[in-house]
Structures are given as C-alpha cells and as structure tokens.
Structure 1
Amino acid sequence: MRLPILAPTLSGLAILAGSSAFAAGELNIFNWGEYTSPELIKKFEETYDVKVTITDFDSNDTALAKARQGGNNFDIVVPSSTFVPVWIAEGLLLESRPDQMENFKNMDPRWVDVSFDPGRHYTVPWQWGTTGVIVDTDLYKGDPNTSTIFLDPPPELAGKVNVVPEMGDVMALAIRAEGGQDCTADMEVLKRVHEKLVAAKPKWVAMDYASIEKYTGGDYAAGLSWSGAAMRVRLEAPRFVYGYPKEGYPIWMDNVAILKSAPNVENAKLFQNFIMDPENAAMISAYARYANGIKGSEQFMPEDMRNAPEINIPPEFVDKGEFSPACPPEVNDLYTRIWTDVLK
C-alpha cells in the first residue's frame, strides 16, 4: 500500500519536483561494474542538471568494506538483498523513505514488503535475477539445468568452468545441491558442501567476474553465472544456454540505497524516485539484461527481453527458486570458513 506523501518541505520538494531548480550539483554512485546504463545517466544529468560520477565495485563484501572505512564521497550504493540488513543494522544507510516518493506507485507490490527492507524505508529496486549456470552447447550436450555443471563438471567441461567469486551465490547453490536449506547450520550438510567445493575447484579454470568475451572467445565453456550476464553472452553467441539448477537456485535483488554520509542527499533522493519511473527502469534492464521491480516497464523493454528464457523462468523450474534471505552472523561465519578453504 502506498503511504501518504510527506508535506512539501524543502526535502519533499526536492524529491517530487521535476525541475532542475531543486537539483544541480553532483551525484556519486557506487555500483557493480558494467551495471549502469549510460543512457539512463545521461537522461538524469540532463533532467536535473546534475553531474554523475560512477565508481565500480566487484562484490558485496568490497562495497561494504569501503563504506565501513569511510572517507569516501559516495551518495548512492547498490547492495544485494542479502546484504541490505547489514548496511541498515550498522547505520550506514539513510532512511530516505522511498515509500513516500511520487513514483513509488509504480513499484510492483511483490517487491514492496520485502524481508530485507519492510515497506521500503531505505531502498529502491535496481534489478533482480537468478543465479544458475551457463553452458556452451557445442561442447556439452547434456542437461544444463543442474549445479553439477560446476560442482562436478563432466569431462568435456572440466578445466573450462568459471565460477563467480561470490560466497553467497556459490554456497546457496552448493547447499541446495546437497539437500540443505537457506542459511542452514547443519554441520553434516556443510561438511558435504565443503568437500564438494574443495574437490571441484581443481576442475575450474577461474573464479572471475567474467566478461562476455571470455565466453564468446572460448576461454570459458561453462560457469556459475547470473541470469542477465548469461543473456548478454547468449545474444553474442547463441550456442550458450542458461540453466536453472533442478536442485534449487537463489533469486536475488540489487537495491539502490543512500549512504548516511552522502554529501548530495537531495540529488540521491531524486535518483531513487527517477528510477521508479517505468521508462527509466526499462533503461536499466535494457543495459544489463535483468528484470526490475517496476510495473509498466515491460512496454519499454527491448523486444528480445520480453520472452527471454533468462528472465522468464520456465514453468517447470519456478518452484525450484527461492528468494535468498540474509543469514545470521553465526551462520555466515560457518560459510566464511568453508569459503576461505575454497579460495586457497
């Protein structure tokens, strides 16, 4: 349910007004690499007379560590749903109240009362997707819808598998493959996960945030990947397919939040409101090839996204996906011990 809009204070006007008179200046965005539409940024800059600077990070852990250190001038950060509760608990985010912004009416109700930010007091959806596997069908003719692609690579893929170095994604798929549930602390399950991952690593060629060229150029033939990244590869090289692991896979969402230390708060609020406009949300999706949480954005999407298998989960795999929760610190500590061994 949409909450009443705040009285038109100066802050409220900065959120609601479409005039550059309330903006001007700068906005500094801290986001994942190759994840921000230049077209979107250009439109925002021209609409509000704001100069936008983008700094990339390569993992949730990197972004969080940078914010904890302080001494930066970032306004906007884009953490994943599993990390948002940590940012909030540590007092790193501004309670910017997106739920009281003009364009909040466009948010898909599915993404309003989320566990990581109930009612959306801090964050706005950026993009959401799934974590699965990508496979070169010229080399592998078997079933791509399984985590064994990276956990126990078949001979034709061994030594050609890339795994994104994100502990949460890797652990989520491995735990499901071993019959466990999200955030499990079952030591028998975790022992099997540890053994499986350590045994699998020698069959991987890399743990990398792979570029499209690494796949299309033949460096990688398979890997643990995100849905939008896999779609971008397929559009360049149709021999690749995205697999939804039948053992279970995570659904995730990245979200736009404002740092409590932000030097340009009003411009950051303008940006949160701006990306809840359907046409602007579609620009985000068109660039990185993920779904977003904004109603009506579909009509502005590129034609090749409307029925893309990486975005539209096949019916037989819908019930295999679960939204990834934020695990308790003691559970994360257990996973970190396993992850440390995997990285050795």
Structure 2
Amino acid sequence: MTLRRTPLALSLLLSLGLSATAHAAGTLHFANWSDYYPPELLKKFEADTGIKASLDAYDSNETLLAKLKAGGGSYDVVVPSDSFIEIMVADGLLQKFDKSKLPNLKNLKANFQDLRFDPDHDYSAPYLWGTTGYSYDSAKVPGGVLEESWKPFFEPPAELKGQVVALNSIEDLYIPAALYLGVDRCTEDPKEAKKIQDLLLKQKPMLAMYNSDGTIERMAAGEVVMHQQWNGAFHRAHEQRDSLVYVYPKEGVHVFIDNFAIPKDAANVEEAHVFINWMLQPENIAAASNFAKYNNAVEGSENFMDKALFDDPAINTPQDKLDRLRPFQLCSPKALNLRTKVWTKLKK
C-alpha cells in the first residue's frame, strides 16, 4: 500500500510511530542554536520520512524570541531553553502539542517526565541538556590552576585583561553572577539586582567580547585564555587542546535544558510533530548527543552514544560536584524584568 502525501498520511505515520522507509508529505523548517545539530541527521530524517527539511541557526534565546515576535511562521520547530518556554507561552508564541502524535514522549527518562517549566509537556519536549560553567587554558593562566569559583571569571587577574570572553546572554551571565554573590537568582529586590549589575559592569572592561558563537574554535585555537562555556562546547574544544580545564564553580552551576517547540504560526504543524516524535527515538537523539557533545533525556540513548562522553567529567559530572548543579528555577515577571534592565544597562 502506498501512502498518499497528505496530512492524513502524516497522521497515520504519527499514530503508528513509524520512522523508517515510510513516506510522508511536506516540508519542515527547523531552527536551532548554531552548530548544535548534525546536518547528516537531518538527511536521515528526510530519508526516513520523505519530508524535506531545512535548518536555520540563531545564537541566543533572545535572538529566537525576537524572531518569533517578528513572525514565527517561517519556522516549524525551534529549540528554546527551559527559562524561555514560560516567556514564549505567556506571549502566545508557541502552540500546544497534539500529544496523540507524540507517542515517543514515553521514552523520556523519569526525571524528565515532569519538568517545572512545562510539567505536562504541553508545549515542549527535551532536546539536549548540560551545564554553563567556564573553561580556561591551564598553560596560560597564572600558576596554571584557577580556583573552582566564579571569582576568576567575574574578577579575572589583571594579566588576563582582554583574554576573557562571556556568553552574549543575560540568562547565562545573570544567574552565575547571582550565584557568586549569594543573591537569589529570582530576586525581586532592585538593590540585589543592582549588586549583580555592578559586578557585571566591573567585569566588562576585562572582557574581549560577549559572544555565544565560536566558543569552541576560540578556545581550541588559543585565541583567548578563559571563556564562559557550555560543557558540550568545552568537550569539543578540549578534544583539540588538551590544556583546557572545565570549571564547576563551588557557588553553583546552572543546568539548562533545551527543548523542541512549535511556534504558534508554524506552517507545517503535522511535519513538526513527525520530526519531534522521530527525535525522541533513542538512536536519533543519540546522534545529536554525539555531535553536539551534550547529554539527552531519552531512555536507551546511552546504548548509541560515544563512550568518550561518559569519560569526560565536564559531561558526566563527578559525584563530588553534583551538589553544585543548580536546575532551572521559575522566576516571576517582576524578577525577569529586573534581569532585562540589568542587561540593557550592561549592553549600552
């Protein structure tokens, strides 16, 4: 029997959970963070489903938010981080899943079944997760070793002026600054937010730049000495430069979860469900983990993942540092507004 290339055929594929050799209709416009999805996996998706897929890139949650506000109809699936799901839902930028078309949600590991930012997976399904610490080149820092703290990053030695890079995102800077200062990261107190702002303004002259792109290449090439970095990006840089060290600061490290979501104005909603369901298969999400070097939330994916990921303490957090991990915390609109004000001041 040959399936006609119609939404009805797509619905049948979804209900059956088919992923290979079956043919479906249409096109998928997928947008993800830069260098965060293997192009060859998208080719496999096309071969498995018959859906033609394209990949666009952005460099931050803020950039994605602006794109969706400007009209998200050009994207069918996007990958916002945990903290932005609530914002996008509140702004009416995402649409609810038809979970009857996502049978592979059952493959999620137990600790990812009920997430605070979207407890019932109405709007999101986990893609990859990791930590946001920083790395340094032990061959270039004074003494060869830095304290396992946010202090060397926010208050670097004078010798490192112009040799430090911060990520270009308020979330990635505000949360670690709050942890370092012992301030509630969801504070609604303008005085506490001012402490965070002062720390970031003091750090600013020491930085080479704010940039979330090119973190791997910059550290691997030795262009800078210290870089705020996601653990998967560190792993890829460390493969090229073995003098790099990843830091789990003692004050705490933010754990992020990036998620598949469907924009409110997506043109190809059926295809979007096919893609998300397909990505929740262990062998497919494992291919993304192996490429980007981050862990994922799907049971059984470890059977398809590279052993090197489990051998790297930056990816497989050591037992004695597990208490440093700080999962997502839902903040009030008032708290998020304070963050925005700090960011606006910092980027003037």
- TM-score computed with the length of structure 1 as normaliser: 0.92
CA contact (8 A) 1:138 1:239 kept: yes
Give 1:306's aligned amino acid.
F
Q: Distance in 2 between matches of 1:28 and 1:298?
A: 28
**157, 160, 171: which one aligns with 1:168:** 171
Provide, for residues 9-56 of structure 1, a one-character-per-residue CA deviation record: whole Å limited to 9, x for no partner.
877524234266662221001111111111211110000111111111
Shift of the 101–186 alpha-carbon distance from structure 1 to 2, 3 Å rule, reads: same
Provide, for residues 108-155 of structure 1, a one-character-per-residue CA deviation record: whole Å limited to 9, x for no partner.
111111111112122111100111011101012223521122200023
Shift of the 46–64 alpha-carbon distance from structure 1 to 2, 3 Å rule, reads: same
Q: Distance in 1 between matches of 2:140 and 2:99?
A: 47
**251, 268, 271: which one aligns with 2:272:** 268
Give 1:105's aligned amino acid.
K
**295, 302, 307: which one aligns with 2:311:** 307
Aligned residue number for residue 75 of structure 2: 74
CA contact (8 A) 2:15 2:101 kept: no
Q: Distance in 2 between matches of 1:99 and 1:243?
A: 42
Aligned residue number for residue 15 of structure 1: 14
CA contact (8 A) 1:108 1:294 kept: yes
Q: Distance in 2 between matches of 1:339 and 1:316?
A: 33
Provide, for residues 91-114 of structure 1, a one-character-per-residue CA deviation record: whole Å limited to 9, x for no partner.
222211447622222111111111
**218, 221, 231: which one aligns with 1:227:** 231
Instruction: Give yes or no for the alignment of 1:84 onto 2:79.
Output: no
Provide, for residues 138-179 of structure 1, a one-character-per-residue CA deviation record: whole Å limited to 9, x for no partner.
012223521122200023433200001110110000001001
**283, 288, 298: which one aligns with 2:287:** 283
Residue 180 of structure 1: how far off its partner (Å): 1.3
CA contact (8 A) 1:99 1:121 kept: no
Aligned residue number for residue 35 of structure 1: 36
Unaligned runs of at least 5 residues, structure 2: 1-7
* SS of structure 2 residue aligned to 1:225: strand
Equivalence map 1:1-344=2 (5 Å): 12-17=11-16, 18=18, 23-70=24-71, 72-98=73-99, 101-140=102-141, 141-211=144-214, 212-344=216-348
Farther off after superposition, 213-222 or 74-83:
213-222
* SS of structure 2 residue aligned to 1:294: coil
Provide, for residues 223-266 of structure 1, a one-character-per-residue CA deviation record: whole Å limited to 9, x for no partner.
21111111111111111111011111211101001122111111
* SS of structure 2 residue aligned to 1:114: coil
Farther off after superposition, 206-215 or 220-229:
206-215
Unaligned runs of at least 5 residues, structure 1: 1-8
* SS of structure 2 residue aligned to 1:246: coil
Q: Distance in 1 between matches of 2:191 and 2:253?
A: 20
CA contact (8 A) 2:10 2:274 kept: no
Percent of residue pairs bearing the same amino acid type = 35
Farther off after superposition, 307-316 or 26-35:
307-316
CA contact (8 A) 1:31 1:55 kept: yes
Aligned residue number for residue 3 of structure 2: none
The RMSD of aligned alpha carbons is 1.8
Give 1:35's aligned amino acid.
Y
Q: Distance in 2 between matches of 1:84 and 1:15?
A: 24
CA contact (8 A) 2:252 2:324 kept: yes
Q: Distance in 2 between matches of 1:45 and 1:10?
A: 16
